[in-house]
Amino acid sequence: MLKIGVFGCGAIGTELCKAIDSGHIGVELYAVYDRHEQSLIDLKEQLKNTDPKVLEIVEMVKHVDLVVECASQQAVYEVVPTTLHAKCDVMVISVGAFADKKLLDTTFDIAKENGCKVYFPSGAIVGLDGLTSASAASIYSVTLTTQKHPRSLEGAPYIVQNNIDLDSIKGKTVLFEGMASEAVKAFPANVNVAASLSIAGIGFDKTKVKIVANPALTRNIHEITVEGEFGMFTTRVENVPAPTNPKTSYLAALSAISTLKKIADPIKVGT
Ligand SMILES: NC(=O)C1=CN([C@@H]2O[C@H](COP(=O)(O)OP(=O)(O)OC[C@H]3O[C@@H](n4cnc5c(N)ncnc54)[C@H](O)[C@@H]3O)[C@@H](O)[C@H]2O)C=CC1
Ligand SMILES: O=C([O-])CC(=O)C(=O)O
């Protein structure tokens, strides 16, 4: 049975650990890590059947087959190279870190050299399967429009640096329009999905992103339009926020769970 290490035990990590603990995925939850001890305590209280070891990444990779990063873009710099050098596979949720081309190229090279896989789940968006298929031919444009409640955008570097008063936003307001390369740095906890789209499609410098604050919303909305040689598609998802982190959509946690199941299962459905 595949041994899993989960790095980051917040909204997504906790749901993933609970799903493994329930026995439905067919993998073993061997180790977990979080820099906040309380997150580990809270997690362990919710596990009924397993008692994973708490191991820092350097120790974790000595014992597991696959590490799931669900911590932060900053953590990716530590977790991904360490995991791949140890010849373990890695699933990355904080995909925005890969707007750093050097990190993306190095990751590709180390993974190839060590015969490892790097998985980027669809996360909070719908349509990555279609984009992946479409990218076997020419893609002309990829556009993401993300709408969230202003509260979900709190603390983003773009909001802080531009002194944007989120409380003063009373109606639907476009806060950002630009390329994915800038968007994932400006809103690192909000549009990692723009990074997955960029990697699957036409890259960080051609994928367009619009971020809208909308105080009327109770859900996180992501709309994607792709045009290419295949034709065009649009997708729209209205995501229920994760109960413990309004920035994150519940679907992102489900996507990590399903990707892990797909890795473990002999039958793979979808592109
Ligand atoms: N790809 C996608 O579609 C999505 C990606 N995300 C990203 O996934 C990541 C996890 O999301 P959530 O679980 O909602 O976040 P969260 O904030 O609820 O949990 C993150 C946990 O990781 C820990 N952590 C952060 N940096 C760490 C480090 N350097 N070392 C050790 N522990 C660290 C924190 O203490 C926290 O407990 C975030 O980066 C988030 O922006 C979130 C939603 C969708
Ligand atoms: O969960 C979401 O709606 C999207 C998100 O936060 C991200 O991509 O970072």
Q: What are the mean pLDDT values of the chain's consecutive 10-residue runs (271 residues total)? A: 97 98 96 98 97 98 98 97 98 98 97 98 97 98 97 96 96 98 97 98 98 97 98 98 93 97 92 81
ipTM of the complex: 0.99
Active site residue 222: yes
| 166: number of Cβ within 10 Å | 18
To the nearest 5 percent, what fractions of the chain are helix, strand and coil? Answer: 40, 25, 35
Q: Is the CB of 139 under 6 A from ligand 2?
A: no
Q: Inter-axis angle of helices 11-21 and 37-46, to 10 degrees?
A: 30
How many residues comprise the chain?
271
Please give the number of the atom of ligand 1 that sits closest to the Cα of 247.
Answer: 14
Collapsing DSSP states into helix, strand and coil, what is residue 261?
helix
Pocket test for ligand 1, best of 33, 34, 69 (most atoms within 8 A of CB): 34
| 51: number of Cβ within 10 Å | 8
Q: Is the CB of 241 under 6 A from ligand 2?
A: no
Per-residue pLDDT, 108: 97
Q: Is the CB of 189 under 6 A from ligand 2?
A: yes
Cα–Cα dist 212/260, whole Å: 31
Per-residue pLDDT, 209: 98
Residue nearest to atom 43 of ligand 1 (CA): 248
Q: Is the CB of 34 under 6 A from ligand 1?
A: yes
Q: Inter-axis angle of helices 11-21 and 250-264, to 10 degrees?
A: 40
The ligand placed nearest to the CA atom of residue 42 is 1
**Residue 220 annotated as part of some ligand binding site:** no
Residue nearest to atom 5 of ligand 2 (CA): 190
Per-residue pLDDT, 98: 98
Please give the number of the atom of ligand 2 that sits closest to the Cα of 152.
Answer: 6
**Residue 49 annotated as part of some ligand binding site:** no
Q: Is the CB of 13 under 6 A from ligand 1?
A: yes
Cα–Cα dist 152/248, whole Å: 8
Name the phi and psi angles at 142, rounded to 5. -135, 125
Q: Is the CB of 254 under 6 A from ligand 2?
A: no
Name the phi and psi angles at 265, rounded to 5. -80, 150
Per-residue pLDDT, 271: 81
Pocket test for ligand 2, best of 235, 247, 250, 254 (most atoms within 8 A of CB): 247
The ligand placed nearest to the CA atom of residue 200 is 1
Collapsing DSSP states into helix, strand and coil, what is residue 96?
helix
Residue 66 in tokens: 């696959």
155 C-alpha to ligand 1 centroid (Å): 14
| 236: number of Cβ within 10 Å | 13
CA dist 75 → 31, 37, 96, 226, 229 (Å) = 17, 16, 11, 30, 37
Residue with tokens 């202003």: 150
